Amino acid sequence: MSMQNSPQFNLPVQHIVLRFPDNQPYQLRSLDASFPNTAAARQDLIAASNEPFLYDRIFRERLKGKPYDEERAAYFLGWGPEGWKNNAWFVFVVLNPEGRIVATIDIKSNQLNGAEIGYWCSEQASGIMTNTVLALCDIAREAGFRHLYARIAPDNARSIGVITRSKFTPAGTEIRNGRNLLRFNKIL
Ligand SMILES: CC(C)(COP(=O)(O)OP(=O)(O)OC[C@H]1O[C@@H](n2cnc3c(N)ncnc32)[C@H](O)[C@@H]1OP(=O)(O)O)[C@@H](O)C(=O)NCCC(=O)NCCS
């Protein structure tokens, strides 16, 4: 009996995601080598990542308080395709109806029996994230993943809301870099 042991995606992955509550069509898309690395894409990443709420949650510590800049955006637009090329990590962007990047979501490894996901979205696209996580779960299942998980700071109520609406279940706490994180699991 042969058992698939690495994910299989057909690139590019493109999936319509409806924004809550008005059902505007956004697009979840793999950030693979076919995604255009344009000045507009870098600008979108810079604008969203420096929004205060998002910056505090994701980047302040990592960037030691420095702004998310052009170099960082260019790095991200190269890091995505590298993951797809090596079938090792899987980064997606969410595009609004005008084709601008407003959110990102990733699967951080190729471990079919348990891979971590992470995400952020711009304030201007609030209402897109739950449906994006649900779409990602479908895409991941079709690629062969059987289990995904997320780790969230206990005070991140909005992210806990997203993961709960997406039918992940609480699975205790973990310590990472000396901090307590809540773990949520989903069997696909
Ligand atoms: C966490 C984060 C992605 C959440 O974004 P969000 O816009 O609040 O999430 P959603 O799009 O799912 O929800 C927005 C609203 O729409 C509602 N909604 C969205 N999809 C829905 C659905 N399918 N059914 C019902 N309600 C829905 C939610 O209830 C929520 O309403 P509320 O603001 O009244 O609570 C965003 O705050 C963020 O990027 N934060 C910074 C980065 C971060 O913390 N990332 C996670 C690290 S673990």
Residue 119 has pLDDT above 70, yes or no: yes
What one-character DSSP code corresponds to residue 12?
S
Residue with tokens 């471990």: 111
* pLDDT tens digits for range 149-175: 999 999 999 999 999 999 999 999 999
Domains of the chain: 14-187 (3.40.630.30)
Residues facing 169 on adjacent strands: 185
The more confident residue out of 3 and 158 is 158
Residues facing 90 on adjacent strands: 107
Q: Within the chain, where are the H helices? A: 39-49, 52-54, 70-85, 129-143, 157-165
Per-residue pLDDT, averaged over 135-153, amounts to: 98
Output the ligand 1 site: residues, CB below 6 A.
Answer: 20, 53-54, 57-58, 119-121, 126-131, 152, 156, 158-159, 161-162, 165
Q: Among 55, 101, 121, name the best residue to mutate to test ligand 1's pocket (greatest count of ligand atoms within 8 A of Cβ).
A: 121
Residue 36 has pLDDT above 50, yes or no: yes
* pLDDT tens digits for range 64-84: 999 999 999 999 999 999 999
106, 118 in Cβ contact below 8 A? yes
The sign of the dihedral angle between the CA atoms of 128, 73, 155, 171 is positive
